[in-house]
Chains A and B, each alone.
Chain A
Amino acid sequence: MVSKEMELKNLTPVLADGLMPVVKGTYRQLLFFGETIVMAMFLPYLNIPQRARRSTIIAVIITGLLGICVIIGTIAVFGAITAHLKFPTLSLARYISIGNFIERAEALIILMWIGGGFVKITIFHYCAVLALAQWLNLKDYRPLAIPIGVILVILSIILWENIVEVVELIKKTLPVPFLIIEAGIPAVLLIVAMVRRKGDKG
C-alpha cells in the first residue's frame, strides 16, 4: 500500500560491509524462529504427529518470507531512518496514504500485534504449565494455570524497568542462553533418544 513511496535504491548497496553484519543480524533473529521449538511440547498431543514436521517447516518459511517482505518494504520507504525507528512496521502503516483518503492504518497493525501477542502468550503459558505438571508428575495441569499466570504478570512488571533494558536484553544477553535452550537442549535430547533407541534394539 506504500509501494508508491518505495525507493528501491534505498536497498543498495547490498553487503557493503561484507557478510558479518548480516550473520550478526541473523543470529539475533534466530531467537524468534527458535521459539518454534515450543511446538515440540504439543507433539504428543497431535492427532496426526507425522504431519507436524511438514506444517512446522511451512509455517517457518511463510513467517520468514512475510518478515522479509515487511523489512524490504520498510527499508525501501524509510531508508536510513529505519534504524532509528522503534516500531518500523507501525511507522510504515502510519505512512500509508492512498488518495488522502485511506490513511492511518496503524490501528490494524496494533490489532494484529495484540492478537498475535495474545496467542503467543497463551501458548507459552500453556507450555510452561504443562511442563511443570509433567515435571512434578501431576495428573492434571489445570490447577497450575492460575498461579503461573500470576507469576507471569508479576514478572512482566518487575523484570525490566524500562524499554531500553528490554531491547538491550534481547540484543545482548539473551542470544546465547536462548540458543542453548532452543537448539542445544533439544539437540542433546534427540541424540540421547537416538542412542537409547539403538540400545533397545541391540
Chain B
Amino acid sequence: MSKRTFLIVGAAVLLFFVGAGCWNRVEIEDKAIVAGVGIDSDKENKELVKLTVQIVNPAALKASAAEGGKEGGGKEAVWLVTAAGSCVFDAVRNFTFQSPRKLFWAHSKVIVIGEEVAKKGVEKIIDFFMRDHEPYFRTWVLVARGKASEIMEAKIGLEKIPAYGISDLVSVTTATSQATAVNLKEFTGMILSKTTSPFTTGIEVFEKEGEKRLRLTDTAVFKNFRLKGWLNKEETRGLLWILGKVKSGIIDLKWSAKDGKHVSIEIIRASSRVTPEIKDGDITITVDISEEGNIGEDEMLFADFITPAGIKSLEKKKTEVIKREIKAAIKKAQEFNTDIFGFGEAVYRKFPMEWKKIEEEWEKIFPTLKVTIKVTAKIRRTGLISEPIKPE
C-alpha cells in the first residue's frame, strides 16, 4: 500500500468515527429527565391513562450541593407533572403542553402502577415501555396500594429525588427478603409465560408527623394481566424461598410464647431446587431448600443454645419456620390459582412431552397440586460473642 492510499484510508476511517455522531444530537438542556412515573386511570374520563412523572430539576440539585446540604434555595429537586391521554404514549406526548422540554425516559428508574389500573389490567401499559427505545428493562415495576400519583407526591428522607429513593428501597429488599424486587424484564417474562403468574412488590403512602412517607408493603400477584391479590411479608418470603431469591434476612424464632423471647438468625445464603415428578399421571413437586445462617441475636437468657445440641434444636426450629413460610405462600397462591412459583415451567422443562397434555389443564391442576417441602437449615457461626449476655 503506497503512502498516499494509506493516508486516504486513514482519513476515511477517522471520518467514519468522528463524522457520524452529530446529525440528531439533542442537548441535555432540551431534555426533561424523568426519574419515575406513576400510572393511574383518569376518573372523569374513564378510558384515559393518567401519568404522573417526576422530572429532575438539575438546577435545584446543583444549588443544594453548593449550599452544603441545605434545601436547594427553596427549589424542589423534582418537578411533578401530570398528563392524561387515551393511551400511555399519547399521555407521554401530552406532557409537552405543560413541559417546555420533551420527556426523556432513559433515566427513569421506577414504574408505579396504580391499584385501579392494575385491577383493570396492565396489558395497556407494558407494551409502550417495552417497545419504546428510551425506557430501560431494568426499571423497577411496583404496584401502588391506592393511587400511583400519591406515591409520586410523597417524599423519602435522605434522597432528593423520591423516585430514585423508591428504586433504592427496592434494591435493599434483599436485606429482609420480605419484599420482592421485580424489574420490567422479569415482569414481562412472567407475563409471557402461559402458566406463571406475574408478581411484584407493592408500595404505600403512610403519614407520619404530618408528612407523607413511603414504604414497601405486600407483594402484588397478577393473573392474566389483572391484579388478583396480595401476599403478606411471610408469604412473600415463602415465595422467595421457592424461587431461590432469598439473599439475606432475619429468621425470627419465637421460642417461648409466654414471655415472647426470641432467637433470631441471619440468613447468610440459601438456595432452592424445584423438582417435578409425574407418577401415574399425578404431578407432585418437591421443593428442596438449603439454607445457612448465623445467630444474630439471643434473648433466651435462661437457655444455653451455644452447644452442639442447642444449635441442632435451633436448626430444627428454623426448618419449621421456613417450612411454615413456604406453606403459607403456596396456600395463598393456590387460593388465588396463580402459579407465581413457575411450577408449570418446571414441569415443562422436565417433561416437555407430557406437558402438552397437561398444559391446558394446569389451571385446574395447580390449586390442588401436591408440594413436598424439604428444608435443610444450618447454623454456622454465633457472632462476636458466644454465650448470651446475662449475670453469672
B312: min CB distance to chain A, Å: 34
Which residues of A approach B to under 8 Å, CB–CB? 9, 12-13, 16-17, 78-81, 84, 91, 94-95, 97, 104, 114-115, 118
Contact of A80 with B193 in the complex, beta carbons under 8 Å: yes
A30: min CB distance to chain B, Å: 26
18 A-B pairs with CB atoms under 8 Å apart are: A12-B349, A16-B348, A78-B185, A79-B189, A79-B192, A80-B189, A80-B192, A80-B193, A81-B185, A81-B192, A84-B130, A84-B192, A91-B137, A94-B137, A95-B137, A95-B138, A97-B138, A115-B16
A13→B106 CA distance, assembly (Å): 35
Contact of A16 with B352 in the complex, beta carbons under 8 Å: yes
Given A80-B189, A94-B137, answer yes or no on A114-B352 (Cβ-Cβ < 8 Å): no
Contact of A9 with B349 in the complex, beta carbons under 8 Å: yes
Q: Collect the chain B residues with CB atoms within 8 Å of residue A81's CB.
A: 185, 188-189, 192
A12→B352 CA distance, assembly (Å): 9
Q: Collect the chain A residues with CB atoms within 8 Å of residue B138's CB.
A: 95, 97
A91→B353 CA distance, assembly (Å): 32
Q: Collect the chain A residues with CB atoms within 8 Å of residue B16's CB.
A: 115, 118
Q: CB-defined interface of B343-368 with A at 8 Å, one 1/0 digit per residue?
A: 00000111011010000000000000
Q: Collect the chain A residues with CB atoms within 8 Å of residue B355's CB.
A: 16
Contact of B350 with A13 in the complex, beta carbons under 8 Å: yes
Q: CB-defined interface of B125-140 with A at 8 Å, one 1/0 digit per residue?
A: 0000010000011100
On chain B, which size bracket covers the interface?
10 to 19
Known A-B contacts: A78-B185, A78-B189, A97-B138. Give 18 more (CB < 8 A): A9-B349, A13-B349, A13-B352, A16-B348, A16-B353, A79-B189, A80-B189, A80-B192, A80-B193, A81-B188, A81-B189, A81-B192, A84-B192, A91-B137, A95-B137, A95-B138, A95-B185, A104-B106
A56→B240 CA distance, assembly (Å): 50
A78→B185 CA distance, assembly (Å): 7
A78→B130 CA distance, assembly (Å): 13
Q: Collect the chain A residues with CB atoms within 8 Å of residue B349's CB.
A: 9, 12-13
Q: Collect the chain A residues with CB atoms within 8 Å of residue B20's CB.
A: 114
Within 8 A of A (CB), among B336-392: 348-350, 352-353, 355
Q: CB-defined interface of B105-144 with A at 8 Å, one 1/0 digit per residue?
A: 0100000000000000000000000100000111000000
A84→B193 CA distance, assembly (Å): 13
A13→B276 CA distance, assembly (Å): 14
Q: Collect the chain B residues with CB atoms within 8 Å of residue A91's CB.
A: 137
Contact of A13 with B192 in the complex, beta carbons under 8 Å: no
A104→B167 CA distance, assembly (Å): 18
Given A78-B185, A80-B193, A81-B189, answer yes or no on A94-B348 (Cβ-Cβ < 8 Å): no
Q: CB-defined interface of B187-202 with A at 8 Å, one 1/0 digit per residue?
A: 0110011000000000
Q: Collect the chain A residues with CB atoms within 8 Å of residue B130's CB.
A: 84
Counting from the closest, the 10 A-B pairs by CB-CB distance are A16-B352, A80-B192, A13-B352, A12-B349, A13-B349, A79-B189, A81-B189, A95-B137, A81-B188, A80-B189
Chain B residue with the shortest CB-CB distance to A115: B16
A12→B276 CA distance, assembly (Å): 14
A2: min CB distance to chain B, Å: 11
Q: Collect the chain B residues with CB atoms within 8 Å of residue A16's CB.
A: 348, 352-353, 355
Q: Collect the chain A residues with CB atoms within 8 Å of residue B185's CB.
A: 78, 81, 95
Q: Collect the chain B residues with CB atoms within 8 Å of residue A115's CB.
A: 16
Q: Which of A80, A94, A118 lies in contact with B136, CB distance below 8 A?
A: A94
B358: min CB distance to chain A, Å: 13
Chain B residue with the shortest CB-CB distance to A17: B352
B14: min CB distance to chain A, Å: 13
Chain A residue with the shortest CB-CB distance to B194: A80
Q: CB-defined interface of B47-70 with A at 8 Å, one 1/0 digit per residue?
A: 000000000000000000000000
Q: Collect the chain A residues with CB atoms within 8 Å of residue B136's CB.
A: 94
A12→B138 CA distance, assembly (Å): 24
Chain A residue with the shortest CB-CB distance to B274: A9
B216: min CB distance to chain A, Å: 20
A196: min CB distance to chain B, Å: 37
Q: Collect the chain B residues with CB atoms within 8 Å of residue A95's CB.
A: 137-138, 185
Q: Collect the chain B residues with CB atoms within 8 Å of residue A78's CB.
A: 185, 189
**Chain B CB within 10 Å, residue with most, of A16, A17, A97:** A16
Q: CB-defined interface of B165-199 with A at 8 Å, one 1/0 digit per residue?
A: 00000000000000000000100110011000000
B171: min CB distance to chain A, Å: 9
Chain B residue with the shortest CB-CB distance to A118: B16
Q: Collect the chain B residues with CB atoms within 8 Å of residue A104's CB.
A: 106
Given A94-B136, A114-B20, answer yes or no on A13-B348 (Cβ-Cβ < 8 Å): yes
A104→B136 CA distance, assembly (Å): 9
Q: Collect the chain A residues with CB atoms within 8 Å of residue B193's CB.
A: 80
A170→B350 CA distance, assembly (Å): 34
A118→B19 CA distance, assembly (Å): 14
